Every structure is written in C-alpha cells, then in structure tokens.
Amino acid sequence: MRYFEGKVVLITGASSGIGRATAFAFAGAGARLLLCARRLKLLRELEAPLMEAGAAAISLFRLDVRDRATVDAAIAGLPEDWKAIDVLVNNAGLSRGLSRLYEDDPENWDEMIDTNVKGLLAVTRAVVPGMVARNAGHVINLGSTAGHLTYANGAVYCATKAAEKAISEGLKIDLMGTAVRVTSVDPGMVETEFSRVRFRGDEERAAKVYEKITPLKPEDIADAVLWAVTRPAHVNIHSIVLTTIDQANSTVFHRHG
C-alpha cells in the first residue's frame, strides 16, 4: 500500500546497505525521497530504479553528517517543497577497527563518534524543529544490539550505539506534548558493507564475520522501519531489536557446523 504518497522521507547514508534498502521500501510506499550520502555517484545510480519502484519524486545531495555546518546549510537550503520532512531516518553510521581499546587508533574513535553520535545529533537538530512546528513527524534512529551489550574489541563502537539508544530515549522525552514520534531500530548482524568498512576493505576478514551464519538482510531492517512508521498516529514504537535466528545478542552466535 502507498502509505506515504507525497510525503517527504529523508534518509542519511542512503547509498548502500540498510539506507539503500530503506529507500526502496519507502519508494514502494509512494514517498518523495530526500536521499543523502557521501558517495553521490552511487545515489545517482539508484535514482531510476527507485522511480521505477514507485517513488513519487527524488532529490539527491551529497552530505557528510560529520560536518555540522554543512548539515545545517543543507537542511536550511532545501527547496520549499522539500522542507516539510515527514520521516527522518538517521541511518548514516560505521565502525572502524576491531582491537583492544588501549591498542586502538584514536582516529578510529574520532570517525565513529563524529559519525554515529555527533552526526546523528547534527541531522536531528536540523530537522526536528520543523517537525515540532508542524506537530507531525517520525524520527527513526538506526542503533544496534551493540548498544545493548558490549563485545570484546568493540568498546568505542558499542559506546556510540549505546549513545544512540540514550539519545533516542531522551529525544522521545523532550518531544512529550507533541505528535512527533521516535523509534530506535537496533539490528544484530546484517550483511552489508559494514564489515568491509570496519576492516578497511579487507574482503577476506570481512567474509569471516558472516561465516556459517545466516545473517539478516538490509531488507529485513527496512521492513522493520516501514512497520514502525505505519502504526496508527497515536502509537509510538520506542525500539525494535531484531537479529538473525543464529544470533542471541551481540556476543552469542550459532555457526553452522
């Protein structure tokens, strides 16, 4: 069903993985897609397939959420017919490295914190005041099971996702008295570029993460996002935690023999 006919949906990090799948899910629901990512070329390659999938309109722009001034300028500079954002999907995020905290490269910390926490805050701060003024809107933040239980060699990444969880909870409290909804969608293992990015293009090491496991697909997460935003207006889904059947939490997995 085309629940979002004519509504504006902003998705950060929309060029691949969960962001890409979420764009296709909203396209099928008839949304007007406002898509951004650092890799504008990949976004442009999605434009025609997304229109074929049912998007009412598409607007693309390059954005690095780590640059708060650029985020502010990009949102403030949207054409009038794109300013009324109905759904914000804060998807942009990444992990870098997998090593002991005291041995890790501090540049990894900066990139994760600047993207996963400060980037999330920057986009939220730029978009949510408009939702409050219109007394309508829904913020979807992409979290992780890593925000619920810390795993070895991933302290900083886990900390950024614990921060996302706290930010989502705090934002919901701050929005009491308005009709703006907030949902944190917290997946476990999803087969995307995540591990390749974490290991800086090491395909062999990335493949071992999913070895003998049936992981979630990006479309599974997109389906959860779409479900949350299509609940009746008086219903707020605070959080969704989902994993593959082969995962119990961020540390316990079943690998097929």
**Residues annotated as part of the active site:** 157
Structure tokens at 17: 């993985």
Residue 196 dihedral angles phi and psi, to the nearest 5°: -65, -40
CB 22 within 8 A of CB 228: no
Q: What angle do CA 219, 163, 121 make, to 5 degrees?
A: 80
Sequential DSSP letters for 86-138: EEEEE--------S-GGGS-HHHHHHHIIIIIIIHHHHHHHHHHHHHHHT--E
CA pair distance 58, 65, nearest whole angstrom: 20
Beta strands in the chain (DSSP E): 8-11, 32-37, 57-62, 85-90, 138-142, 181-187, 239-242
Identify the DSSP state of 182: E
CA pair distance 79, 162, nearest whole angstrom: 35
Q: Which residue, chain included where needed, has tokens 């006919």? A: 5
